[in-house]
Each structure stands twice: as C-alpha cells, then as structure tokens.
Amino acid sequence: MPPDHDNGANPALPLSGRIGNGPSDLLREEVLDPQFHHEAANLLPYYIAVEQALVAEYLRLGLVTDTQAAELDRLLGAVTREELLAERQASMSDIAFTLERHVEAQLSEPVPAWHVDRSRNDLQACAQLMYGRARLADGAGTLLDLGQAAHRLAGRYTEDPMPGYTHLQAAQIITPGFYLAALLEQVLHTARRLLSTYDGIDACPLGAGAMSGQELAWDRDRLARLLGFGRVQPLALTSIAYRGWTLETTAEFGIFGVALSRFATDLMTWGSSAYGYLDLPDELSGISSAMPQKKNFPILERIRGRSAHLASCHTDAVLGQRNTAFSNSVEVSKEAAAQLPYAFDSFESVLRLTTAVLEHARFDTERMAAACEEEFLGGFALANALTLREGVSWRRAQVIAGRYIVAAMAAGRTPTQTDPALLKQVAADLDTDLAAPEEVLNGIFDVRQALRTPQSAGSAHPDAVATVLDAQRDELERLSGEWAARARLAHGAGGEA
C-alpha cells in the first residue's frame, strides 16, 4: 500500500501551475492515448533504462542516498506496461509523467531531489534513439541472414548456364550463382552503410535538458556509457533538436528497397510460365481461384510491393521534419517519426520473405541450358574472334558477326550448327577475306565453353564467381561480428566503464 504522507504523487496535485485543466477528450482520443500506447509498447524499456541511469547520477552527485537510489532503481525495474496504461489518465496521458508518478506513489518516503534539473526533451530524445539503435541492429541481423541465404544458394548454381538479359533480350551466358552474388553484394553494401549510420547516430543526447544544457554537473560521458552509447552528443541543442537519424535510417531502407524490387522483378520473370527457370515449393506458392492449371508465386509480388513501403516511410519522415524549427517540437519528435516502427517492421518483413524464397528456390538447370542453346549468345565472342584471330577491325567485326547470325537464322540453323562457308561469304560481301573461318567459329556458340570464356575478375566464369563468393563469405563473417557487438550494446549490455 502507498504511504499516507504526501510524497508528490497526490493525484490532486497538478503537473503544472501554468494550466488548470487536463487534456480534452478529443486530444486524448486522437493524439495522446495512441501515442501513449505506442510508447508503452516500444519505448518503455528505454525510458526505464534512462531513469535508472539518472538515478545513478543523482547518487554520484550526492542528491540521493544509497538507500533512496536502491529503492528508486528497484521500483523502476518493476514497472509494467499494464500499470502505466491503467494510470495514464491521471498524468495527462504522458508516459514520462505517468512513470514518474507511478514510482513516486510506491516510495517509502519522499525523494525531493528525484527529477530535479530534468526535462522531458532529452529523456524522450534518448529513449527514441535507443529504440532506433536496437531496431537498427535487429534489422541488420535479419539483413545478414538474407545474405547468408543468398550465399548458400549462389554456391549451388555457379556451374549452371542461363541466359543473362539486357533490355529484356537474351544477351550473354551467366549462372544463377553469378546473379545471386550480385544480390549478396547489395546486401553487404547495405549492411556496411547501415553500420556507418549506426556509428554516426550512436551519440547519447541525455544531459542536454530542454535545449541549452543543465544546471547541475551531470557526467554525460558516464550516462552514455551506462546506456551503451559510443559517445556523447556534444551540443545540447543538437541533442534535442536533431532527428536526422530517422531520415538516415529510412533512407538506407528505401535505397535497399529499390534494389530489392529489381531483383524481385527478375525472380518473378524467371518464375513465370514463359520462362520456367525458377520454382518454389507449394508452401510458398499460391493458386488461381478460376484457373486450376496455374501455380502462382504471390510471395514475390509481396516482396516487390512491400519494398515500396520503405521509400514511402522515408518520404514521410522527410516531409515531417521539413521546414520545422531546429529545436524540440512534437511535430518533429512524434509526428515525423510516426511511421518509424512501420519502417522497421516492413524492412525486417521483406527481408524475412526474401530469405524464405532463397532458402527454398530451385532453378531448372535443364530448361535454362536449353534456353541458352536456342539463342545466338556467342555474338560478342564471334566479333572478338574476328578481330583477334583475323585482324578485322572491331566495328567491321561487329557488322560481320551480326549479319552472319541473321543469315544463319534465315537458313534455319541453330547456334551450334555453325557454317564457316556462310561466315566467309558474309565477310566477303563486306570486302573482308577470312583465312580460317572454321577456326573463328570453333566453340563460339558452345554454351559450356562460352561460360568459361571470360577471363576478367568478377566475371560469370565459375572460378571467378567462386572467388567472389569466398570474399563475400569473409565479409559476411566480419559484418556479423561488427553487428553482434553493436546489438549487445543496443539491447542493454552497457555499464559503468
């Protein structure tokens, strides 16, 4: 039972002498209660952690006793979301006020100095940033899970030829492994950029007060260490006014979403009945309500569609902050960040969906190889051979190669049915004499040979892909270690240094 004496938690005592009445029903219903539910669900652990760090500072400053500090710390650690929700109406539906009054009501004796020299501004900024860091670390972990799935799938398909497309036309021979290595490279790039974002925003705003600093000699470095931050935000105004971290984070999500939508488009295309290169198990597939012959892949449509939310969340954050004063305001701290939880949720959701696709995808290697054999995908190699073996100028070689392919198609020949005489005649029509057309055509349109023709690093040659995948595996391991270290701090493994 709460004690009988007045310890500052008397519900009859107003929170401010400036206004006499609490919020209207309209404000509670439309603004304050929804905000309270959001903060109780997402930010409460961080509010409590901040309050406990401040208690440690009050003790260091000699403003509370050991006994008082221990009681405050214990009561703060015992607070539940349900208790605060039940008590919010008496504290203007504000989570900071409700938390303060809830703890004060449980104290065995008053602690007058608790909350002296304090402001909600840096308290809220710190709790929000702690939430953002933790969600960012979680999202990065899910991103790296996707990277691991891409690496495993790529490693299984480095030797299997498929057509690569430019301008939606079959162009050159690649492999699924080569393609998936490109997806993995985007994952690694994003993981590195998010790591830089995390380190850039890892600055504790606590101790900034309302905007200009605090009167007591708070040890802000110590507060930062207690809360697992890498450093202190050096300027008080920046601490409470800056919400650029929401812009930076959602910008990276949006950029990755754009890239992911492009990869999803290719997978959707390859999974279509027109191509038939990609298949997914029944549990990741859908059906038509009217056409029983169809097997649909709506999960790929979800991935591509959901990736758009990442860009829209960034746009919302940008417009919410644009043209606002560089100071603390509800518009910036609350409204401009309203879609942030949805941005984190959408980011992790689209990553999990894509990971599931990569973990269960199967490529039809025979169909892909057959598609390669139907196309004259050695045209580039033929032009190269005409230049390097016969000394034909490059542009003329391009013309000869193109005309040979057109003539071969008109004659009903397949790519592997080479015709040295036809090539010699096409060249002669362009006043070019070929000494050994049969050698020029030897293996040019052989699919397996064409896959191993490229010699440059980073090519589709299986050995080159394997080299890239080895380096990517090492980078995945390095980034996983970096992110694991940050996740430990972001999820409360800070402490006195």
User: Tokens for 482?
Assistant: 């970096």
Place 7 in a pLDDT band, splitting at 50, 70 and 90. very low
Q: pLDDT: is 19 or 487 the higher one? A: 487
* Residue 8 pLDDT exceeds 50: no
* Strand, helix or coil for residue 64: coil
Q: How far apart are CA 41 and CA 218, in angstroms?
A: 29
* 245 C-beta neighbours (distance < 10 Å), count: 22
CB-facing half-sphere around the CA of 73: CA atoms within 13 A: 15
Q: What is the pLDDT of residue 2?
A: 42
Angle at 11 between CA 68 and CA 207, to 5 degrees: 50
pLDDT of residue 112: 95
Better-predicted residue by pLDDT, 159 or 288: 159
8 Å CB contact between 24 and 89:
no
> So what's the pLDDT on residue 374?
94
pLDDT band at 286 (very low <50, low <70, confident <90, very high): confident
Distance CA 235, CA 212 (A): 8
Give residue 493's pLDDT: 52
How far apart CA 258 and CA 256 sit, in angstroms, is: 5
In order, the DSSP letters of 175-202 are -HHHHHHHHHHHHHHHHHHHHHHHHHH-
Nearest Cα neighbor of 423 from 450, 445, 391, 433 is 433
Q: Give domain limits for the chain.
A: 25-116, 123-160+173-365, 378-444
The two three-digit tokens of residue 17, written as one number: 């002498």
User: 465: closest CA among 452, 476, 479?
Assistant: 452
Q: How confident is the model at residue 15 (pLDDT cuts 50, 70, 90)?
A: low
Q: What confidence score (pLDDT) does residue 281 get? A: 93
For a pLDDT cut of 70, what percent of the chain falls above it? Answer: 95
In the prediction, which pLDDT does 296 show? 87
Closest to 351 in 3D by CA, of 244, 246, 252:
252
Residues above pLDDT 90, as percent of the chain: 89
Distances (CA, A) of 254 to 146, 191, 344: 17, 13, 11
State which amino acid sits at residue 234. P
Average pLDDT (52-73) is 97
pLDDT digits (tens, 9 = 90+) for 436-464: 999 999 999 999 999 999 999 999 999 99
pLDDT of residue 9: 45
Tokens of 329: 């305001």
Q: Which two tokens stand for residue 261?
A: 């939508």
Alpha carbon of 48 to those of 33, 81, 103, 478: distances in Å? 19, 11, 11, 33
3-state secondary structure of 5: coil
Residue 171, pLDDT score: 93
Q: What is residue 162's predicted lDDT score, i.e. its pLDDT?
A: 97
Residue 313 predicted with pLDDT over 80: yes
162 in Cβ contact with 101 (< 8 Å) = no
pLDDT band at 16 (very low <50, low <70, confident <90, very high): low
Structure tokens, 111? 């602690």
Q: Rounded to whole angstroms, how far apart are CA atoms 168 and 492?
A: 50
Which pairing describes strands 203-204 and 231-232: parallel, antiparallel, or unpaired?
parallel
Q: How many CB atoms lie within 10 A of CB 176?
A: 23
- The C-alpha atoms of residue 23 and residue 1 are separated, in whole angstroms, by 29
Residue in the block written with tokens 């299986």: 462
Q: Identify which of 53, 42, 32 has the alpha carbon closest to the alpha carbon of residue 98.
A: 32
Query: Letter for the amino acid at 390?
Result: E
Q: How confident is the model at residue 92 (pLDDT cuts 50, 70, 90)?
A: confident
How many CB atoms are closer than 10 A to CB 369?
Answer: 18
Report yes or no: 356 and 284 within 8 Å, Cβ to Cβ: yes
CA 114 to CA 94: how far, in whole Å?
A: 18
Tell me the per-residue pLDDT of 125-138, one tens digit each, with 9 for 90 and over: 999 999 999 999 99
pLDDT of residue 302 exceeding 80, the answer is yes
pLDDT digits (tens, 9 = 90+) for 138-153: 999 999 999 999 999 9
Residue 296: Cβ-neighbour burial (10 angstroms; 0-12, 13-18, 19+) = middle
Tell me, what's the pLDDT at 91?
A: 87
Neighbours of 230 (CB within 10 A): 16
162's enclosing H/E stretch is: strand 162-166
- Please compute the mean of the pLDDT values over residues 29-44 and round it to a whole number: 93
103-116 pLDDT, tens digit per residue, is 999 999 999 999 99
Q: State the CATH architecture for 123-160+173-365.
A: Up-down Bundle (1.20)
User: Is residue 261's pLDDT more than 80?
Assistant: yes
- What residue type is assigned to position 173 of the chain? I
Question: Beta strand pairing status for 162-166 and 169-174?
Answer: antiparallel
Look at residue 435 in the predicted model and tell me its pLDDT.
96
Q: What pLDDT score does 285 carry?
A: 81
Instruction: Quick: pLDDT tens for 365-423.
Output: 999 999 999 999 999 999 999 999 999 999 999 999 999 999 999 999 999 999 999 99
pLDDT, tens digit, for every residue of 199-244? Answer: 999 999 999 999 999 999 999 999 999 999 999 999 999 999 999 9
